[in-house]
Amino acid sequence: MASRTPLTVATASMDAPPVALTRRARAVNRALAEIYPDAHCELDYRTPFQLLVATVLSAQCTDVRVNMVTPALFEAYPDATAMAGADRERLEQLIKSTGFYRSKAESLLGLSRDIVEKFDGEVPGRLKDLVTLRGVGRKTANVVLGNAFDVPGITVDTHMGRLARRLGLTVNEDPVVVERDLMALIERREWTLWSHRVIFHGRRRCKARKPECGECEIAAMCPSAPGAKVRPPE
């Protein structure tokens, strides 16, 4: 069977042509910028390596919990060289409360050794290099690039995926395709801040189980809001 081109909002709905969709996406971004002028990465870190480690630990775990764990972790293993030689059992105990600690320890040991062996102990500042590290995908790489290296990137976590679909900016589930769809709508210089703003909104207002549509400041631009006048993609 021939493979199909991944569906995008632009191809899915003639009611939302690319220009109109782009304008709406950018209007949402401007509105979120006013609502969350201080939107930022909520993980605590001092170096690119610490941000990389914290982002790996944040998988299926809150940033608050990660920030409780990392001070002792970074005191024991402040850089890739130190963590590459970590005792696995001790490492697991330090990160245990973040959940899935065995697989996370495996990823941290692997990526630390990769950094030492391939990049002279320094976290690389390019996407194509970051994703070669064990346990590092595009989401984690974009967090590190955007916040530690000031390289624009869209972070497609569960909040971003959920809100992008609710806002009618994509119909896709695959994070890589969602990232591609959003990259076409939002100005490149805004990618990192867009990610922070959307994640802030997802955590504070547009929650997974009970979105607060009645109090939502951008409900008028959302096709998923009750009584919405904006047409969703079909």
Q: Which residue has the tokens 């119909």?
A: 171
**Residue in 79, 104, 139, 181 annotated catalytic:** 139
Give me the torsion for CA of 108, 112, 113, 117, rounded to 10°: 160
26/207 Cα distance (integer angstroms): 21
Dist. CA 154–CA 48, nearest whole Å: 17
Q: Which two tokens stand for residue 183?
A: 């990259």
User: Is residue 157 among the annotated active site residues?
Assistant: yes
79 is catalytic: no
Out of 79, 114, 157, 181, pick the active-site residue: 157
Query: 154 with 210: CB under 8 angstroms?
Result: no
Q: How far apart are CA 190 and CA 209, in angstroms?
A: 28
Active site residue ranges: 139, 157
